[in-house]
């Protein structure tokens, strides 16, 4: 019984075959040509295929027209009382479920790759570019003292703050005579090594002495000086830091009277 229902379900799963059964149930009988016209089928091969699949659900009357057998009438009642679901809609929903499943998996895989690169970079890449000591004392900061003559502490401080704003430096500590800020995200999160700057202002007899320091922190593993050397692989953050702090020195020297 269950195998018979399964076979019937397989036969009537196709929309064209369901239409043939429902048409013959409504009209009683139809000729081969009538079926082609009503169904909009232009290929006899297509119609012959569906008629063959319907098999013992159909029979021909004395005039050669197609009609439903008792089994065919039973199948028509089943179609009327228990309409088939919209297979096109089911297929569309299934496609969207697969699409979102794949999209979520791809996002998870992308996140895993980014995290892997981050940790690999923190453990391998940045340690690889650290300069060799070669028995010499390692320079850890770019340091410069600039005397701004003929200016007050407030005037010099305003110039430093103007430099901070134009370079996009985020201030971390600010006092009247001291400013500390950075470019980039702390600890290198976001795959960019942060660059730190400190400016100390000290009034002197003929102006203001400005002590500046700049350095790069590589995932908190070490601190390294900026460099004005020719750009080489792994040296981009240092060169950027050098340009920023060199700009400050030039502005301070230009401010002197």
**Per-residue model confidence as pLDDT tens digits over 155-167:** 999 999 999 999 9
pLDDT interval class at 9 (50, 70, 90) = confident
Question: What is the CATH architecture of 142-255?
Answer: 2-Layer Sandwich (3.30)
| Mean pLDDT for the stretch of residues 44-56 | 89
- Axis-axis angle for helices 2-11, 70-81 (nearest 10): 80
Please check whether residue 233 is in contact with residue 221, taking contact to mean a CB–CB distance below 8 angstroms. no
Residue 223, beta-bridge partner list: 217
| Mean pLDDT for the stretch of residues 92-101 | 74
Quote the CA–CA distance of 190 and 207 in Å, as a whole number: 41
Q: Which CATH class is domain 2-84?
A: mainly alpha
- Residues in the chain, overall count: 257
Please give the residue that has the higher pLDDT: either 180 or 4.
Answer: 180
Does 100 score more than 90 pLDDT?
no
Quickly tell me which residue has 């979102």 as its tokens: 100
| Residue-level pLDDT at 6 | 65
| Residue-level pLDDT at 120 | 57
| Mean pLDDT for the stretch of residues 230-240 | 61
CA 209 and chain centroid, separation: 49
Q: Which of 163, 179, 170, 133 is nearest to 243 (CA)?
A: 163
Quote the CA–CA distance of 47 and 64 in Å, as a whole number: 16
- What's the chain's average pLDDT? 79
pLDDT digits (tens, 9 = 90+) for 52-82: 988 888 999 998 999 999 888 888 888 887 6
Q: Which of 210, 209, 218, 208 is nearest to 241 (CA)?
A: 218
Does 221 score more than 70 pLDDT?
no
| Residue-level pLDDT at 11 | 81
Does 253 score more than 80 pLDDT?
yes
Contacts of 151 (CB under 8 A, 6+ apart): 207, 208, 255, 256, 257
| Three state DSSP letters for the chain | CHHHHHHHHHHCCCHHHHHHHHHHHHHCCECHHHHHHHHCCCCHHHHHHHHHHHHHHEEECCCCCEEECHHHHHHHHHHHHCCCCCHHHHHHHHHHHHHHHHHHHHHHHHHHHHHHHHHHHHHHHHHHCCCCCCCCCCCCCEEEEEEEECCCHHHHHHHHHHHHHHHCCEEEEEECCEEEEEECCHHHCCCCCCEEEEEEEEEECCEEEEEEEEEEECCCCCEEECCCCCCCCCCHHHHHHHHHHHHHHHHHHHHCC
Structure tokens at 95: 């496609």
| Residue-level pLDDT at 187 | 55
């Amino acid at each position: 019984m269950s195998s018979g229902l399964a076979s019937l379900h397989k036969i009537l799963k196709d929309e064209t075959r369901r239409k043939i059964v429902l048409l013959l149930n409504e009209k009683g009988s139809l000729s081969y040509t009538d079926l082609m016209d009503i169904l909009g089928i232009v290929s006899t091969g297509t119609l012959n295929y569906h008629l063959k699949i319907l098999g013992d659900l159909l029979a021909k009357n004395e005039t050669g027209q197609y009609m439903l057998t008792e089994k065919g009438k039973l199948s028509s009642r089943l179609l009327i009382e228990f309409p088939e679901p919209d297979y096109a809609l089911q297929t569309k929903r299934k496609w969207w479920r697969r699409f979102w499943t794949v999209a979520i998996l791809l996002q998870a895989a992308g996140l895993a790759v980014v995290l892997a690169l981050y940790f690999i970079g923190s453990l391998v890449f940045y340690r690889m570019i650290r300069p060799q000591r070669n028995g010499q004392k390692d320079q850890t900061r770019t340091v410069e003292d600039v005397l701004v003559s003929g200016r007050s502490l407030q005037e010099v401080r305003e110039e430093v703050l103007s430099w901070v704003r134009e370079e996009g430096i985020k201030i971390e500590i600010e006092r009247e005579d001291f400013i500390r800020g950075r470019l980039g995200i702390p600890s290198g999160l976001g795959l960019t090594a942060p660059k730190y700057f400190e400016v100390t202002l000290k009034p002197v007899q003929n102006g203001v002495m400005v002590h500046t320091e700049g350095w790069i922190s590589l995932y908190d593993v070490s601190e390294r000086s900026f460099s004005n050397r020719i750009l080489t692989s792994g040296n981009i953050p240092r060169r950027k830091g050098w340009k920023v702090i060199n700009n400050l020195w030039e502005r301070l020297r230009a401010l002197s009277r």
